Copies of this chain bind each other. A is one copy, B any other.
Amino acid sequence: MTRQRDGGQAGAAAALDLGYARVDTDRESRQGLPEVVYGPGKTTGQIRGIVTGLLTHNAGPVLVTRLDEETAAAVGGAVPGGRYDAASRLLVWRPAPAGSFRVTVVTAGTADLPVAAEALGVCRAVGLAATAVADVGVAGLDRVLAVRDQLQASDAVIVAAGMEGALASVVGGLVRCPVVAVPVSSGYGAGLEGVTALLAMHASCAAGLTVVNIDSGFAAAMAVHRIAQVAAGRR
């Protein structure tokens, strides 16, 4: 597939206009992955149309995120070949073969598991070798120390933490590799639905920690996907 770079014309050619959506069919050649479909607020028909367009005009994995089971069944029935996972709320066609880039997805507590599931699911769908380490919140520090070796053997770490954004700082201080922190909206009161964790992760003392949007396991996985591509020498 040849990449077109020349402004206006390429734009005209590379977008599939469905009326309700303008599918960025050029994204796969530009960024190494077809556009990912954000499920909420779209009708079953719209999702089906976009997915069909992506499967037709691109060659790689096609993902729909944050999909409830009912809509997933309706879409999956209409566009064969997709696999739905309720924990991660992901519907995936043509997942990439597993690669060698090792990602560890760490959670502070059980309430962070759904966000971690999305991160894990997207990582695997795009070919990253992702594994999970659950419930190593810093109130029991020995738990995170017990998995220190696994963390240090990773190529990248994703930390999903809600009330205890502290885990991102601790992990960030333990490892050499990139750490992507996902604030989680679990908890109550002063947690301010994830805003406190987001701010705290930014104010962290662990140098070189980066942060993505609240509850976005997807964004964290995509950040790691970018890293894995540059590590693999793809540009």
* A→B interface (CB under 8 Å): 5-12, 14-15, 19-22, 24, 26-27, 30-32, 35-36, 38, 40-42, 46, 108-111, 113, 134-146, 148-149, 152-153, 155-156, 162-166, 169-170, 172-180, 183, 185-192, 194-200, 202-216, 218-219, 221-227, 229-231, 234-235
Contact = CB atoms under 8 A, between A and B. Distances in A.
A22 B110 CA distance: 9
Contacts of A188: 213-216
Given A208-B223, A227-B230, 20 more contacts: A6-B7, A6-B8, A8-B142, A11-B142, A14-B142, A20-B113, A27-B140, A41-B111, A42-B110, A109-B205, A141-B145, A141-B170, A166-B200, A178-B227, A185-B189, A189-B202, A189-B215, A196-B200, A199-B199, A210-B219
A15 B29 CA distance: 28
B139 A22 contact: no
B202 A211 contact: yes
Contacts of A24: 139-140, 142-143
Contacts of A42: 110-111
Contacts of A41: 110-111, 186
